[in-house]
Structure 1
């Protein structure tokens, strides 16, 4: 197969030039180039390939350039992986943050291979500058660490745990003023509220070099604190130019994370601020409850050390370079001009009489196909406008709710930090209940065995049971923290409900767009075959030579 590098129309191997614009045809290096996914995205060129799939530069029907990750064909039957990708699209779309790569859409190709539509950025994964530059300058490390902490704060505010924070999953691009912007990406193994686990028993997802100790322990709950541990490893690596531990095996990494105390940054990097060293040490604490209360607290601490330039919130620059892909209006106009020229040729060869039935039928079918293409194009434009308007409305609604969520989450973070500073208990009501029941069981056993003589140990056990019961009562009682947690969850639920309602409304329009795109592609291939047949029939007649010369440069240029 060949493809026109200008309009992306596909041709047979024997064809030489595009009938629409006259461009020399190129051999297709990837069978998907020129394909339209979901009726909305035209694949333009390959950006990169990996073990899971291929990333393409694509053009959205609304003229926006996007990146599309299409999984390899062998994953078409992997229902669990498909569900993971769909979850990544849902959860990431909800988050909408400058430090998280935006995922706009999810779908399946015609062969049921999953794909993700993401914002198109220019830059590189964080692991590349770490390998190239080694230890970063302090303000650069603080700035990128701030970006990651802000991105995690947004994810955790919505109950989404990334589970694979590492330099390879951080994309570093530039803002309009040239300053670096870090964006978290690849939420494919993220854990969101209410999600059932999509991994088989004993299967581990993540990167051992950056994994929190509790992730290796069976049946231990995964919490946002696991992401904070990974952030601590990344911060250590950016500041020191190396990881806190070294190992050649999976078992070695597990052992280090679970048992080895990481070195203090001040002992590795002379001149490292003690505040930063303490923060990284807290992030790398073996027990989750000894780490910072949440990502907002990390943002606050890093912000206190960073320069004003590093603290500034920036948007990554979007890629606006034009791609030479004529829109459907221009292409349809070129086909119509070609049909008009064919009609002129027929009139010259058979003036005043009917053309042979085969030629007349082909010309009539060509005209009818172009009319149908025009009707479908207008219908698709109307549908795309409706989908785009709904997406814009949904985004605006989500932004308002997201702002409310972020405000509540910051207040909650401050309360948690104050509680810790005041020595308040951080154990949950269930932990106090477990301790009370343990002491009560001890007391019942002692009462059954000690007879009628009181025991100091029994009195101490009774006091411990009473203290645990009082702590349980206090932990279960209403509190400002619990009230904020309730409000935060209510807002999260509201965002999820609105997103679910919008998805349901949009799916019908998107299905119509897919069907319309499929029919337009088939019609355009039919137009191509009819045009080729008419050209071969009418070319031998000398009176048509000037019209064929006009066509040779491409009818799109002829009408331009």
Structure 2
């Protein structure tokens, strides 16, 4: 290490003072473009200072890209984006950024440590990252270098997105462009269109998020090659392998989310960061009692700048269509059993006739018993047609979270005071362990589960209004009805 001239130059700064106010205390790390130091302001404030290498600073393009980081982060104003306090130039002409000093470690370091990261914890981290990207994309900012080392986990349990230095900005930036031979990004996490040098949008960041999750969950990259050229060709031409073919222990729900994020075809990838975050929150919510109200309020604040095509679902299994929304279908009514004619025996013929008579009688009894319920179905349908949330949806009910729906009618009672009706009218339908619906007996009606503004998960669109799901019993398609 002592033979490295760049490291020696960076280490030599320790103990010096920048612009008469920032004392360099220690070297945190050295990257390809800059070195990061721990420093103390003359009034005692501790911070991190990122100084561009002198050989990089001679390039106007790279200087502009470095300065763009401060502009991008300040435009975001998001608490999960590292805060840039100041920007200046050192006495030797090297630009530097003054940033908040973080205590913790990167996602990459945590994931490959002895403890690793559990699946649920990874979902929580990625949900925050997608929240930041949702805001950035709404402002026309594409990060372009999401990877485990640029996601920082603070000792207090927070998440910070680092290094917006190569972000592409639609407006207000330096219009830094990629030149041939100056590829921006980290190859194992770059989308095919980004490697090809084509026009990119927020979906390139979504791919990088998927590649980051793939790396953490499988301990390998999406594609691997013995040389950089081999890796570039694979990333640009080959679809990612299905996650669970590499790591079978990963849950199907998480596997589907990662697979859709890594879709080679742009039209099959998540259209927005928010759409991917909704699926992640849905998986997290399936096993959690509630979400924090802060998370919900942040999502509401950043919802307006982004245009979302509609509620999204986690990616279906490979080879299935991704266009049709998931709906709950009522199972077919059980048909009466008919004996198979295995011989020409007279006894079997008599048995067939007898069974037919019994079936006719049972059918008559069934329709007599079922007829009183038809009025209830009519009332439920009428309630559905007039539901404010259903009008906002504008179509069939699908699984969605509250951030994609209009605000419920002000005449509805607060969701926190709603409780399941005494007769146990609703239960939670668990389909393959995911995507809960509230259903009535015999699966006559199904209502999506959403999270309201207070962070409470409720049956949405019911004639009675939003009903909290906390006390509802589970119901499986194998059950035909309940008492």
TM-score normalised to structure 2 length? 0.56
Q: 2:452: which partner in 1? A: none
Counterpart position of 2:200: 222
Greater radius of gyration (CA): 1
- Structural mapping, 1:303-452, within 5 Å: 303-306=281-284, 308=288, 312=292, 406-409=302-305, 412-413=307-308, 415=310, 417=312
1:182 to 2:180 alignment: no
Q: Using CA pairs under 8 Å that are at least 6 residues apart, name the structure with larger relative contact order, 1 or 2.
A: 1
Measure how far apart 1:49 and its partner are: 3.5
Tell me if structure 1 keeps the 8 A contact 2:13–2:24.
no
Q: Matched residues in 1 for 2:46 and 2:288: separation?
A: 32
Who is 1:301 aligned against? 279
Deviation at 1:48, TM superposition (A): 3.2
Secondary structure of 2:38's counterpart equals: strand
The answer to whether structure 1 residue 198 and structure 2 residue 177 are counterparts is yes
Post-superposition Cα deviations, 1:183-237, rounded to whole Å, max 9, x if no partner, equal 211111110113523332343111111110011224x211111111111111112
What does residue 366 of structure 2 align with? none
Q: Counterparts of 2:112 and 2:131 in 1: how far apart (Å)?
A: 24
**1:30 corresponds to 2:12:** yes
Equivalent residue number for residue 92 of structure 1: 73
2:220 alignment counterpart = 242
Cα deviation for residue 51 of structure 1 reads 4.0
Structure number with the higher strand fraction is 2
Cα distance 1:314–1:36, how it changes in 2: closer, same or farther (>3 A)?
A: farther
Matched, 1:273 2:251: yes
* Inter-partner Cα distance in structure 1 for 2:217 and 2:292: 20
Residue 82 of structure 2: aligned partner: 101
Contact persistence 1:140–1:310 (CA under 8 A): no
Residue by residue over 1:309-359, the C-alpha shift from the partner in whole angstroms, topping out at 9 and shown as x without a partner, is: 9965899xxxxxxxxxxxxxxxxxxxxxxxxxxxxxxxxxxxxxxxxxxxx
Query: Per-residue deviation at 1:98?
Result: 2.8
**Structure 1 residues 405-457: Cα deviation after superposition (integer angstroms, max 9, x where no partner):** 613046x3364759x9579xxxxxxxxxxxxxxxxxxxxxxxxxxxxxxxxxx
Preserved CA contact (<8 Å) 2:240 2:262:
yes
The question of 1:264 aligning with 2:246 is answered: no
Does the CA contact (< 8 Å) of 2:36 and 2:51 recur in 1?
yes
1:86-165 pair list within 5 angstroms: 86-133=67-114, 136-165=117-146
Partner of 2:191: 212
Q: What's the counterpart of residue 503 of structure 1? A: none
| Gaps in structure 1 of 5+ consecutive residues | 1-27, 316-399, 424-479, 481-560
Q: CA deviation at 1:168?
A: 1.7
1:108–1:148 distance in 2 versus 1, CA, 3 Å:
same
1:71 aligns with one of 17, 38, 52: 52
Aligned equivalents of 1:170 and 1:300: distance in 2? Answer: 20
Change (3 A) 1:174 1:262: same
Structure holding more helix per residue? 1
Q: Tell me by how many angstroms 1:120 deviates.
A: 0.3
8 Å contact kept, 1:98–1:314:
no
- Give, in angstroms, the shift of residue 154 of structure 1: 2.0
Q: Secondary structure at 2:85's aligned position in 1?
A: strand
Whether contact under 8 Å (1:293, 1:417) holds in the other structure is: no
> Do 1:210 and 1:230's aligned partners in 2 also have CA atoms closer than 8 Å?
yes
- Quote the Cα distance in structure 2 between the aligned partners of 1:94 and 1:283: 26
Q: Contact 1:213/1:254 (CA < 8 Å) preserved in 2?
A: no
SS of 2:82's partner is coil
Taking structure 1 as reference, are residues 29 and 234 closer, same or farther at Cα in structure 2, changes over 3 Å only? Answer: closer
**Per-residue deviation at 1:285?**
1.0
- Secondary structure at the counterpart of residue 248 of structure 1: coil
CA 267–29 in structure 1, closer or farther in 2 if over 3 Å, else same: closer
Q: Does 1:53 align with 2:34?
A: yes
Post-superposition shift, 1:64? 2.8
TM-score, with structure 1 as normaliser: 0.49
Post-superposition CA distance 1:127-178 (Å, at most 9, x none) = 2223324863211221222122122222212111111111122222222xxx
Looking at structure 1, the residues matched to 221 and 260 of structure 2 have their Cα atoms a distance apart, in angstroms, of 16
Cα shift readout 1:15-52 (whole Å, capped 9, x = no counterpart)? xxxxxxxxxxxxx9734624143x65343333333443
Distance 1:310 1:409, change over 3 A: farther
